[in-house]
Amino acid sequence: MLKTKDPTVYKLIKEEEKRQREVLEMIPSENYASKEILEALGTVLNNKYSEGYPKKRYYQGNKVVDEIEILAEERAKKLFKVPYVNVQALSGSVMNLAVYTALLEPLKGKIMGLSLAFGGHLTHGQPQSATGKFFKSCLYALGKDGKFDFDEIEQLALKEKPDIIVCGFTAYPGIIDFKRFADIAEKTGAYLLADVSHIAGLIVAGVHPSPVPYADIVTTTTHKTLRGPRGALIMVTDKGLRKDPELPKKIDSAIIPGLQGGPHDNQTAAIAVCLKEASTPGFKRYGVQIVKNSKELAGELTKYGFKLIGGGSDNHLILIDLTNKRVNGAVAAFALEVAGIVVNKNAVPYDKMPPFYPSGIRLGTPAITTRGMKEEEMVKIAGWINDVISEASSYRLPEDKVGRKEMFKGIKSSLQKNKKLLAIAKEIKIFTARYPVP
């Protein structure tokens, strides 16, 4: 038993369990996986090496693992309606890197993705990421209204001639027009990669359109709105297969031997469980409620004068520009955590502040919806958020770099002792006790 053999680690895990129970987890990329998924993760499948693919492994002893991997593949194909899937990518970064490795020549091939500063992802060709170091990249932005300016994106694509255009975002509160991205990709001869990590669960639930009719390749992590274990799926669509029938082979080889060794078989089993859960009517109801909650929360926050990027939320997340509230995003995120509301600081479009001290926060409803919260609870949560931000507005962080780090330290230590925030944390602890975590 872990409890007796390594009480130190056991105690830390218990502390984290308690933390997850007693706060409002509102980072939109996080969720609570079911007990069954966690059970599959903690099994003897951890002990096996399975380099290769089902029925084509390098090592012996993979009869059972083959069955598990085939099951995960079949469930993913059925759920997302695609002809091919690879379930081995260990997580999101390697998932996208595998696609680029499969399709592009190093230092020559070009990726075009949304800039991280506008809600893209590191792995969509950011220069700080291997995807922007090992391949060429060009980045597009959002318009001043926080929406896509497709004419500008098309102009950029025509000028830059990327080999892959990436759509699918981490801080975009709207519905993605996959068809429009596909039109641009077709016009410029690029592959269209839809990274739907954030919205996979919404797609499955039918509350966000699927990219499958439009994209050549669809990638997704499995632990966000899909509510599974950490892991990833790389899918080729019928359209992608028509364009290049070798795509599956290229992607399989990019994963192994290209980027990984043995897959994590316990993770593959847990992905299979997650895909079964995601195919139930209960999961559809869950997806519907995520969006209802996000819209309700966005509406309530707007009433309090919060400026929401894109004007609201049509999916699972909300991006708030706190400039009008005169609170820095880093200060806001810290104050909210002291009060028991966990969100992340986030850049807003055309942010004048640097990434460590951005002007906004990003929050979402996937995890709190898993706990059974509905519109009524969102009204209450918006009130708490407003109270915390009002309280935090007396802690000013200088826009100027000089002395900012030291000042932030001081602000944090003062926020940690703030009586009003600590009182809200107590209320939230009592409130969250009514909503079980799996």
CB of 114 closer than 8 Å to CB of 142: yes
Q: Which whole-number Å values give the CA distances from 215 to 240, 348, 397, in the listed order? A: 7, 27, 43
Query: Peptide bond before 229: cis, by omega within 30 degrees of 0?
Result: no
Indicate the residue among 182 and 193 with the shorter CB distance to ligand DSN. Answer: 193
Q: What is the rounded distance in angstroms from the CA atom of residue 164 to the CA atom of residue 69?
A: 28
Cβ contacts of residue 304 below 8 Å, gap of 6+? 382, 385, 386
Least distance in angstroms from the C-beta of 89 to ligand DSN: 13
Indicate the residue among 98 and 424 with the shorter CB distance to ligand DSN. Answer: 98
Indicate the residue among 92 and 231 with the shorter CB distance to ligand DSN. Answer: 92
Find residue 166's DSSP bridge partners: 193
Least distance in angstroms from the C-beta of 226 to ligand DSN: 13
Least distance in angstroms from the C-beta of 29 to ligand DSN: 3
Q: What is the maximum span of the chain, computed from C-alpha positions, in angstroms?
A: 64
Indicate the residue among 182 and 226 with the shorter CB distance to ligand DSN. Answer: 226
Least distance in angstroms from the C-beta of 58 to ligand DSN: 30
Sort strands 110-114 and 164-167 into parallel, antiparallel or unpaired: parallel
Indicate the residue among 92 and 201 with the shorter CB distance to ligand DSN. Answer: 92
DSSP 351: -
CB of 273 closer than 8 Å to CB of 228: yes
Indicate the residue among 96 and 237 with the shorter CB distance to ligand DSN. Answer: 96
Q: In 3-state terms, what secondary structure has residue 201?
A: helix
Least distance in angstroms from the C-beta of 22 to ligand DSN: 22
Indicate the residue among 120 and 211 with the shorter CB distance to ligand DSN. Answer: 120
Least distance in angstroms from the C-beta of 52 to ligand DSN: 28
Q: What is the rounded distance in angstroms from the CA atom of residue 34 to the CA atom of residue 272?
A: 13
Helices (H), 254-280: 265-278
Q: Which helix (H) or strand (E) holds 303?
A: helix 281-303
Binding site for ligand DSN (CB under 6 A): 29, 92, 121, 170
61-71 in b/e burial notation, b at 16+ Cβ within 10 A? Answer: ebeebbebbbb
Q: Which whole-number Å values give the CA distances from 290 to 12, 38, 61, 383, in the listed order? A: 30, 22, 42, 19
Least distance in angstroms from the C-beta of 195 to ligand DSN: 10
Q: What is the rounded distance in angstroms from the CA atom of residue 23 to the CA atom of residue 17?
A: 11
Q: What is the rounded distance in angstroms from the CA atom of residue 431 to the CA atom of residue 438?
A: 17
Residues marked active site are found at 49, 51, 195, 221, 224, 230
Determine phi and psi for 209, rounding to 5 degrees: -60, 150
Q: What is the rounded distance in angstroms from the CA atom of residue 77 to the CA atom of residue 75?
A: 6
Strand ranges of the sheet holding 217-221, from the earlier edge strand across to the other edge: 84-86, 232-236, 217-221, 191-195, 164-167, 110-114, 136-140
Indicate the residue among 123 and 418 with the shorter CB distance to ligand DSN. Answer: 123
CB of 232 closer than 8 Å to CB of 90: yes
Least distance in angstroms from the C-beta of 30 to ligand DSN: 8
